[in-house]
Structure formats: structure tokens, C-alpha cells
Structure 1
Amino acid sequence: LSFLPYLLQGATAASFEEHIYSKAPPPSWVKKYNFPLNPVEPQPSQVNLQYLLIDTQRHWEEKTTYCHYAVKALTQNGVEDISTLHIDFDPSHRQVVVHFIRVFRDGQWLDRLENSLYHLLQREKELENNLYNGDLSLVYLLGDIRKNDIIEYSYSIVGATPIFDSYFTDCIYLQWKTAIEQVAYRFLAPPDLVFSTRLVNTNIEPRIVDLSPSMREWTWEAMATPPYVEEPDEPIWYNFPSRIQLSQYKTWQEFAKHIAPLYTSPKQTSAEMKALVNTWKETTQDPRERALLALRFVQDEVRYFGLEKGIRSYVAHDPQLVLERRFGDCKDKTLLLHTLLQLMDISSTPALVHSTQGKRLAEVLPLPFAFNHMVLYIQIEKTPYWVDPTDYLQGGSLLTTPFPNYHWALLLSEHTTALTPLPENLLPHPTEIDTSYLLTSEDSAALTIKKVFHSFQADNLRKNLARTGKEEMSKNQLTEMQKRYVEAIQTSPPHMQDDREDNTFTLVESYTIPTCNLPDKKTIELFPYTTKNRLNKRPLLI
């Protein structure tokens, strides 16, 4: 689905396309990489595509990244996969230049650039996650692609994000989920550009050559890289494909100092914002309770939806606009809460985290893409509190409000010198389960199950109830019970009691089951939901 006409805002489609997309030969500074035209097919034989070359070259001064690929279609499924080429880019700061698309077949090269259909699409891949970024996809539909064809294509992305265009950062991925015959990464920059490297599951070092007094070349090359294989149930943070991190930032302190000014509160605030704050001040004198009121407002009354087009991928919107709209992404909601707390003389600092790979964050070089989420650090009377303004329907006090195991955070303050370790929730409060059986006849018994959920589990039940409603939640409970007792009958809707202040959620279920399902005195029944609390401890890695 294309939303491109809405992006144009009065400009003609032709002029807009001409501005962001063109065709031209490769830049003169590009080095040509060859690849085998008769490669040995990989094993196992069920692989659909064989990647012969992945070639990336960056010219720092020209703000241009050249991308070059060669792929062989081994099966008909591979033909379908490679017949549509996708080039994703941000039109706010970048343009795409396509150099060539060609096919090698029966000893001849066939041009596919001029006679292939193409479209500029605004696909919004993250819209289901309530994120709108405005990125475009240049999609080429290649005609007459056959089994055993080699498709070679190249393009350049010209431009850079204004916030980070003065610092060089990148990551060279050496492993994909399929084998690659050759990976090449080449970087051209003045000799005085100094950056750090970190090797992850590889030992490849660069070849460095001075092309002239004003230009240096760094080259990393890897041959016959094996596919990256994930083990079943492997934690997402446990292992990484081979990669090389590159960063001009010397320390996390330098990185934090660079971007901290982007997340400061405005000097002037709206009447609506001041009225909110005055209401909370009149409600309580306790700064912790005031902070909790502000947190619950931002979490529950400002919905999560991100307009992350262009520079807004990194820069939050004005908190007053976020309050007026009643929506924002993690940056917007965090800065709004930070501003509201500041108006009540409560100290807080925005912080960057990674929602899934935070456990390995201390092993990463200072990089902008090391993070994918923002939270808020609050300090009241020297007591620290970590909160996630993006969450919603949480319960508890400011001290007991659940906070995920993000492991590490970068405080966006001029005083930051390193990553900050976060408090870790090793074992949530266990769920209390009380099961009772009452014989009602020779053939049936009344089964009553009382469950009391705490902390994260209570939050999850509260969200589930808000999302699905009592009737649907009741049906789901019956479905789960019938997986244990096929003939179970729900005698009354589940009784639900939500104590948000204490952050407990009580669920009482009532069923009739055949007596043949009753446990005998020599039997112990164990179900996943009764044992998971005992198993949810720090993993022992051997």
C-alpha cells in the first residue's frame, strides 16, 4: 500500500521522485569486486539462494554508501525471492541512486535496469507497532528471472542523518542466516579520522592503505562465511552473529554529551501543563505520590504512537504538543513526564536502554543504534526510581511499580561518564494458587481455583482484561481448563478483583469436572503455570 501522495504535500509526484531517485553509473571512487560465475553450490541442497557477494563501500566526505550484491537463484522459490528487489531509505535526508541491475545466464550478461517495473512505496513496516517513520521502499519487479540465474545489482544511498553526520559509526555484518561466498566492507576517509573497532565472534582485521595524503582506505574482507544458526529457545541476548562494530565516539560520556541537549524540557510551558501540575500539587504534598500521579497520567492517558519521520527518529516532539495530541512514542512520553516532574521540582533524567539485548550492552561500542527504547530515571531525596512511561495500566507505588530487566542504561546528562547498571528483578512475587475439589455427586465434582497474581503478572492480567473484556477472558480461561479436563464445565464467570494500588489481581474460577479426573492421594499434578515461578531464576550458564 502506498501513501506517497500524502507525503508530497502539493509537489508533483514527478518532481518529488526526481529529487529522491535517479540512475547513474557507480561513483569513480568505488572499487570493483569480482565473484565466481560458476560457483560450487552450497550444502545443504535445499538452500534457495546463494549469496556470492555482499559489498559495501562508504565515502565519508561525500556522505555516500555504495551497496553491491550478487545472488544466484538455485530453486524456483529462490527465483521468486530475488525477482523483487527492495531498497529502503529515509527520503527526509537521503536519496537513492541505482547503478545497474543485470542477470548472468548462459555466459551472457542481460540488462534488467531499463526494462523492469519499479515503484516507490511507503510501506510503513512498523505501523502495526504504532510507529510511523515515513521511510520509502524503491521496489524493482524483475522480469524473466530463471533458475540458476545470477542477479547482480548495485545502488548508492546519498545523505546522512543531521544529528550524527559529524560522527562515523557503523556495523559490519559478516554472517547472515545463509552462507556468503564473500563479504567486503571498504571505508574512505581522511587519515586524521580516528575510530575504534570491536570484533564480535570474528578475528578479521582491516587492511589500511593511504591512497593519497588526504585519503585513507580501510578494507575488511571475509570469505566463505558460514550461516548463523540459532539454537532452539536460545535467549536473544545469548549469542551474536559475527560482526565488527565501528565508532568514532571515544566513550559513552562523549556520546551522552552529544545527544543529551536533544532531550531537555522547553523553557516555556502551556497553561494545560501547568493546570495538570497544580492539580497534583493540591492532591498531595508527598513528592513520590506526585511523581506517581504524573507517571500514571503519561502511561494511561497519552497513548503510544510514534511519528518518527526523518529527524524525529531521534528527536522527541515538544512535550506541549505531545500533551495536546495525547499520543507519542517512547521519546515523546519520556520527555513529557520529565517536563511535568520538573514543574514540580522533582529531579529526573531520560535514559536510553535496549529492550531485548540490554544484557550485552556493556560489550558494545558507543553507537546510536545500540539502543531501541527510552525510559526515565527519577531521584527523590537521594532514592532512585526507574520507570517506563511507555508502559500502561501498571500498579503499585513509585517504589514497587514493575520495571523490566533492561540491565544497562545510558543517562542523557552532561554528568554521565559510563553506562549505569539497572536493578534486576531476579524472581517476581510468586503467583498464589489455591485449588479445592468438592464432590457434588458420584460422577462430578466442583472445582474452584483461586489465583492471586502480583507485580508483572498483575499488570499483564489488568492489560488483558482491558484489551479483551471479561467475556472473552472467561472463554479463554475455560479453553485452558478444557486442555486439562476435556469435560470441564464453567459453572459461573470468573470472579476478578483488581487492587491496582497494591498491584494484585485475584482470579477465582469455578468448574464442574467428572470425578474420574480427581487426583488420587498418590498423584501429584504439576502444570507449567504452577512451576514457572520456581524456575524463573537467573540462568546457570555452563
Structure 2
Amino acid sequence: MASMYIKRIVGCFLGQLILLLALQPAAANDYWMVSEAPTWVEQAQPDLARSPSTEAVDFLLADSQVNLTSESPVQYRHYSYRINDSLGVEENSDIEIGFNPDFETIILHHVHILRDNKVIDRLKAEDIRVTDLEPDASSRIYSGYKQLALWLKGVSAGDVVDYSYSVKGHNPVFAGHVSYFFDLGWSLDVGAVNVRVITKRERPLNYRLINSDASVSTSSHGSEIEYRVALKNTAAVIDEGDGPQWEAIYPYLQVSDFDSWQQVAEWAVALFERGKGKLSPDLVEYIQELKLQPRQQAIENAIAFSQEKVRYLGIEIAENSHLPHSPAEVFENRYGDCKDKSLLLVTILNQLGVEANPVLVSTQQTKSVGNYLPTYGLFNHAIATFSYQGQRYWVDPTMTHQGIGLDSYFQPDYGDALIVSKQTDSLTMMPNVAPAQQSIAVTQQYHASDYLSPVVWRIRSEYRGREAESMRYQFARAGKKRLAQDYFNYYAQLNEGLEVMSDLTVEDDRVQNRMVISEEYLLPNFWKLDDGNANFGFYADLADSYLKLPQQVNRSQHLGIYGPILMSQKMELWLPEHINFIWEDEQKVIENDFIRYTIDLSAKYRKLILEHSYQTKLESVPPSSVSEHIRVLREAREYLEYSNGVNNVTSDPSYDEVKALVSHIQKQQKSLRQ
């Protein structure tokens, strides 16, 4: 069965904070304290006269202020929102603040409910809990993050929730550098948005607005510099969906103290140097074994070891959010996250005399990293790169079930990459992936001995590159028996009375990074007999999966295209006799700047062949071209179904007798199988 399977790569640095686990009471001063707002904070007040909307909640104020003038940075937040109905009460009566207890402390300033011109204090120690927060535990990543939760009592529709707090501290892994992304817009209107950053005059910051036409004002006060953004009545930002992952939908203010990507590389080099540590005797022994092998074989075995022998497990607590564990530790434990596995592989390759380096990439921003200010804050993944015989290779040690051999590995194009090297002074663009490097070719043969008997249906699906690796992963995870049943169930929904004729088979060629799945079924109802005619139809289900229309067709945002991919779905009907089929257009080509789709129909002697081919050219469609692209998709979809028929197949006087005999044989065969 053909399928379009996308293996999701989980970023191995700290993710968003969303899960709630292991409740425990917290006493003040364990992780948090109560104090007045710092004197440097400029107080902002929500506009309580703002008219309520029809939404469940109205956001009145989002105030962010950061002070970088002391040794330990302080981030101040003040939020205010009005709850309008019971849904708003249900979903917005809890305050949750994420923090890292290894180097951060929460300082609560006030928690108020504003009702009927009264201020109700809801900052009660007995209502506060600190919870463990492991948002990526399902991906085997553990960060040690915690969440302060305050469950507000007595919240009613019409109330305004108004609270402020500060987070004091900074991860020492960043060596004093700072990088912030301040939200300037949300999925709802906001009455007022304020951002204020204070720094020392001798430490000016770089800033950049993303998806915003706001202005940043700067001012100097003695030994300090301030950066400000003040917005009123910001409009809701609607995510239209189906966009490329790299596209930033919401407006941001980015702030960074890095002046160049070279400085970011220098920070990363120092970090990975710290992580190297001393090689253990066991690791040295393993490297010595590799040195006895031919160079290329040793490289391939080192890659296979880092991918298959070291399981993925991220212990990213405290500085290990970005600081890799030592190769000796990873080798002994046989587990690590992306940066751990990458440093282990790089260390082994260096010991083999191969020039190799870790690489920082973003699985989200990918090719748009260069559009941002230099920062460590964009990278959520680490891979490795090395040079061998004059050619540069890129390897992701977290990937599994890959091909065998340097020329067989599939490496996703992560776009702008930062090679962790003292020679790095800019980003490096990773090589583009050609559609042929991830392809699916499905051939479906229909063998008809006559117009009455069940048709033998043989399906051969060939996967290459990433698609082959994805299928290996599926078979390893679910098992051949389970997938065979899933495939049968899928086809049975499209073909009434479908029966399995032989077991599913798998041919796996990891040297060529190629996988072939073969299936064989009986189609009792392939022919639709009507008034002496035998009608039939084809449906290009695989092609259909690539030609889906987006949920929102009138767009102001990019439309993503899955790919690069090369797909073909060929249907061959072997007829009982020679039939002269007439097709007005034997080949139809539908294409634009983004995809190419072809339909080929041919008939020769007893065989009718219909082939659908699809190839991507680009990975996204800009808003100005979406309407034309939708037109192309709609035109292509008109060819997904094909029907035809053979006339006068039941004119033979013995037809009824043959039909009855076939029906009897089918019943006997079914009885024997049961």
C-alpha cells in the first residue's frame, strides 16, 4: 500500500511548556516569593473602559519589561484580561508560569480580580502549587522545568484578571549572552502591548521587528539605554493553516546582543569544547577497532553506531539544555539527545582522522534563519558534518532506519546551518534535496481472465530515500502483520468484497536505500455489469493525497507543499481480449512554478495503462500565486477518477451458465479458506 508518511523530527532543545504533572504544594521561598514590583518597572494600567467583545475573553494588557543592568537579568510581566462568559471562566481562571528552578526564581507581585470597581486580592499562598513540567517527555526529553500554578477562586463572567510577576535568573550556559523574542500579536485583539528593555550603555543591543510595522524607540538615561515598543488595539492574527513551517505568522520583536553569526559560532565552539571531556578506555578501544577497518567502512560504522546503538534520550537539565554530555558518558550510557549523539560521532570521526564538526540547525525556521538577528535562540537541533575525499556530508545521528553507505543516507535539508567551528563566520546553506531522493512509485496490475471472475490485483510499491526510511520505521514500529492488516482494511473500504490472495512481502535494499512492498488481492466486484456491458473504474488514491486543497483558499500567507517528492501511480488492466480504447488526450500535463502533474493513458493489445505522476518544484507558494495554484490543483483533481467499459460482454447464450458456475466456485473457495 502506498502512503505518504512524514517522520516528525522533534527538536532536542527545550520546547514549549505545556504539560502538567506531579502536583505538590510549594512554600514561599522554595521556588517563589512575594514582593512589590521592582522600582525600575514602569507601571501600566489596563483600559477597563474597553467595550467587551463577543469573544470568551478580551486581552486588555500585555506588558513585558526586561532589566539587563544587573548581574542576573530580571523579566517582568503584567497581564490583564476580561472574562466574558462561562467558556472564558472555564479556560482562563488559572495562572501558570513556567521556570527553570536550577537558575530562575519566580517573584509574584500581585494577583487581582477587578469586579464592580473593587479590587479582590487572590494572591494566597495556599492556592499556589508548583508542578513538574516535562512537555517533551513523550519524545524522551527531560528538562527539569517546573510550573507555578495559581488556581483562582470565585471567578465569574465579567471579571478582569490582573496579575504581574518577575522571573529572575538566566541560564549560565549562555555565558552572559541574551536573546529574546517578544510577542507583539496574538490570535485575539489586545488593548495594549508594551515592551521595554533596559541595558547598560556599554552593552547596546540589536533588535529587529518581524511581521510588524511598529517602531522601536531608543533613549539614554545616564549609564543605561532603553528600547521600547508601545502598541494600542492590536488586531488578532489568524493562522490560515497549511503553511510552511518556516513562515513566521505572528509579529515579534527580536532582541539579541550578538553582532554576527561568527560570535554565535564562537559561543557554540566553547560550549562543545566544554562537553568533550576525556575519552574513556572503552571508547578508545572502540575507536581502535574502527581504525583497523578501511576508512570509508569505519566512517559508515561510526555513523551506524551513533544512530542505532545510542538510543535517543535527552537529559537536558540545567546547563545541559545546550551543553552536550561528554562522548565518554554517552558511549557508556548508550543514550543521548541530538547534541550528545552529534558530539560523539564528531569525536569518533576526528579520532579516525576525518575532519568533522557539530552543526546547529532549526527544524522550524530552516531556510529563514538568516532573516533573523544572529542568536542561539533559533536553533533547536544538532547534527554533524564531515569531509571525505573532497566531498562534504551531512548526517543526523538522531535518524534511524537509514540506508547503508555514504551515498545512501538521506539527510533532510534544514536550510541555514551554523557549523560549530572556529573558522565559521556565517551561516552555511545545506544542499537542497532533489525530488528523486525521496520518491514513491506504485504499480497496480489488474489481471482479468474474463468479465465474470474475480480480478487478480497486484500492487507493487517502491520507496526510495526518505520514503524508504520512513517505511522501515513504520514496519519496525508496527510490525509486518499489523501493517498488512491496515493495508487490507484501507483497500477494503474502497473495494467491496476484497479478499487477500497472498501474504504481503517486503524487499529491503538498504545499500540502495530502497524498499519494495508487494501485495496481492482478489477483486470480486471489479466489473460492474450493466445491460450487457462490463464497466470498470480507477481511482488514483495516492495522487489524491498530494493534490489536497487547503482548508483556506483565500490566503495572505504562504501555502506549504509537502516535498520535495517524486510520485507515480500506474494502473495496468490486463483484459481478456484485445479492446480498442479511444482516448482524446493520451497525455495531459498540468503544471505551474510549484508542481508538475501528468496523466498518461495508453492501450496496447490487451493492456490498458493509466499513469499519474507528480513532482514538486518548490516547497511553498507565495500568497500572490495561491489562487493560480488552487486552480491547477482543481484541474489536476478532475483526472483522479477514470471509468470505461467493454460493450456486449454478456451476449453469449452461455453467459448465465458461466455466471452461475463462477458463483458456485467462489462460494466453494471461500468455504475452504474458512
Give the TM-score taking structure 2 as reference length: 0.75
Q: Which residue pairs with 1:444 in the alignment? A: 454
Shift of 1:239: 4.0
- Give the conservation status (yes or no) of the 8 Å contact 1:116–1:141: no
Shift of 1:452: 1.3
Amino acid at match of 2:42: K
Is 1:432 matched up with 2:441? yes
Measured in 2, the distance between the counterparts of 1:499 and 1:451 equals 14
Q: Which residue pairs with 1:133 in the alignment? A: 143
The 1:116–1:209 alpha-carbon spacing in structure 2 relative to 1, beyond 3 Å, is farther
Measured in 1, the distance between the counterparts of 2:276 and 2:380 equals 24
Is 1:210 matched up with 2:220? yes
% identity of equivalent residues: 25
Q: Which runs of 5+ in 1 are unaligned?
A: 6-12
Is 1:408 matched up with 2:416? yes
Is 1:246 matched up with 2:255? yes
Shift of 1:445: 1.4
Measured in 2, the distance between the counterparts of 1:70 and 1:493 equals 62
Shift of 1:428: 3.2
- Give the conservation status (yes or no) of the 8 Å contact 1:495–1:509: yes
- Give the conservation status (yes or no) of the 8 Å contact 2:358–2:383: yes
The 1:36–1:14 alpha-carbon spacing in structure 2 relative to 1, beyond 3 Å, is closer
Q: Which residue pairs with 2:392 in the alignment? A: 384
> Secondary structure of the equivalent of 2:435?
coil
> Secondary structure of the equivalent of 1:294?
helix
Taking only aligned residues, the RMSD between alpha carbons, in angstroms, comes to 2.2
- Give the conservation status (yes or no) of the 8 Å contact 1:116–1:140: no
Shift of 1:356: 2.4
Is 1:536 matched up with 2:547? no
Using the TM superposition, name which of 18-27 and 448-457 deviates more: 18-27
Q: Which residue pairs with 2:430 in the alignment? A: 422
Amino acid at match of 1:232: G
Task: Say which of 329, 337, 350 aligns to 1:342.
Answer: 350
Measured in 2, the distance between the counterparts of 1:310 and 1:140 equals 24
Q: Which residue pairs with 1:303 in the alignment? A: 311
Residues 159-194 of structure 1 deviation map (CA, whole Å, 9 limit, x = unaligned): 111132522321121111111111101112222222
Q: Which residue pairs with 1:124 in the alignment? A: 134
Using the TM superposition, name which of 249-258 and 524-533 deviates more: 524-533
Shift of 1:406: 0.7
> Secondary structure of the equivalent of 2:164?
strand
Q: Which residue pairs with 1:469 in the alignment? A: 479
Task: Say which of 367, 372, 379 aligns to 2:375.
Answer: 367
Shift of 1:219: 1.5
Measured in 2, the distance between the counterparts of 1:526 and 1:450 equals 14
Is 1:503 matched up with 2:513? yes
Task: Say which of 30, 33, 47 aligns to 1:36.
Answer: 47
Is 1:68 matched up with 2:82? no
Measured in 1, the distance between the counterparts of 2:615 and 2:486 equals 25
Is 1:93 matched up with 2:103? yes
Is 1:174 matched up with 2:184? yes
- Give the conservation status (yes or no) of the 8 Å contact 2:276–2:343: no
- Give the conservation status (yes or no) of the 8 Å contact 1:445–1:512: yes
Amino acid at match of 1:204: A
Measured in 2, the distance between the counterparts of 1:116 and 1:105 equals 22
- Give the conservation status (yes or no) of the 8 Å contact 2:528–2:536: no
Measured in 2, the distance between the counterparts of 1:361 and 1:130 equals 26
Measured in 2, the distance between the counterparts of 1:529 and 1:462 equals 22
The 1:132–1:437 alpha-carbon spacing in structure 2 relative to 1, beyond 3 Å, is same
Is 1:18 matched up with 2:29? yes
Give the TM-score taking structure 1 as reference length: 0.93
Q: Which residue pairs with 2:563 in the alignment? A: none
Amino acid at match of 2:617: K
Measured in 2, the distance between the counterparts of 1:406 and 1:326 equals 26
> Secondary structure of the equivalent of 1:18?
coil
The 1:440–1:374 alpha-carbon spacing in structure 2 relative to 1, beyond 3 Å, is same
Is 1:288 matched up with 2:299? no
State how 1:98-109 maps to structure 2 within 5 Å: 98-109=108-119
- Give the conservation status (yes or no) of the 8 Å contact 1:168–1:195: no
Q: Which residue pairs with 1:194 in the alignment? A: 204
Using the TM superposition, name which of 523-532 and 145-154 deviates more: 523-532
Q: Which residue pairs with 1:10 in the alignment? A: none
> Secondary structure of the equivalent of 1:167?
coil
The 1:171–1:540 alpha-carbon spacing in structure 2 relative to 1, beyond 3 Å, is closer
Measured in 1, the distance between the counterparts of 2:466 and 2:166 equals 46
- Give the conservation status (yes or no) of the 8 Å contact 1:349–1:412: yes
Residues 481-500 of structure 1 deviation map (CA, whole Å, 9 limit, x = unaligned): 12321321222321011111
Is 1:231 matched up with 2:240? yes
The 1:230–1:4 alpha-carbon spacing in structure 2 relative to 1, beyond 3 Å, is closer
Residues 381-410 of structure 1 deviation map (CA, whole Å, 9 limit, x = unaligned): 221000100111111421331011211100
> Secondary structure of the equivalent of 1:134?
coil
> Secondary structure of the equivalent of 2:174?
coil
Residues 319-364 of structure 1 deviation map (CA, whole Å, 9 limit, x = unaligned): 1111111111101000011111112111101011111221211101
* Runs of 4 or more consecutive aligned structure 1 residues displaced over 4 Å after TM superposition: 1-5, 517-524, 529-532
Amino acid at match of 1:446: V
The 1:361–1:138 alpha-carbon spacing in structure 2 relative to 1, beyond 3 Å, is same
Task: Say which of 301, 315, 324 aligns to 1:316.
Answer: 324
Measured in 1, the distance between the counterparts of 2:322 and 2:100 equals 13
The 1:327–1:452 alpha-carbon spacing in structure 2 relative to 1, beyond 3 Å, is same
Amino acid at match of 1:218: Y
Measured in 1, the distance between the counterparts of 2:542 and 2:156 equals 50
Measured in 2, the distance between the counterparts of 1:195 and 1:482 equals 62
Shift of 1:529: 4.7
- Give the conservation status (yes or no) of the 8 Å contact 2:187–2:237: yes
The 1:482–1:523 alpha-carbon spacing in structure 2 relative to 1, beyond 3 Å, is closer
Using the TM superposition, name which of 455-464 and 113-122 deviates more: 113-122
Task: Say which of 135, 146, 161 aligns to 2:171.
Answer: 161
Amino acid at match of 2:98: D
Shift of 1:4: 7.9
Shift of 1:447: 0.7
Amino acid at match of 2:134: E
The 1:165–1:184 alpha-carbon spacing in structure 2 relative to 1, beyond 3 Å, is farther
Is 1:183 matched up with 2:193? yes
Measured in 2, the distance between the counterparts of 1:296 and 1:467 equals 19
Is 1:490 matched up with 2:493? no
Measured in 2, the distance between the counterparts of 1:517 and 1:119 equals 67
Shift of 1:2: 4.6
Using the TM superposition, name which of 143-152 and 334-343 deviates more: 334-343
Shift of 1:245: 1.2
Measured in 2, the distance between the counterparts of 1:118 and 1:419 equals 45
> Secondary structure of the equivalent of 1:33?
coil
> Secondary structure of the equivalent of 1:375?
strand
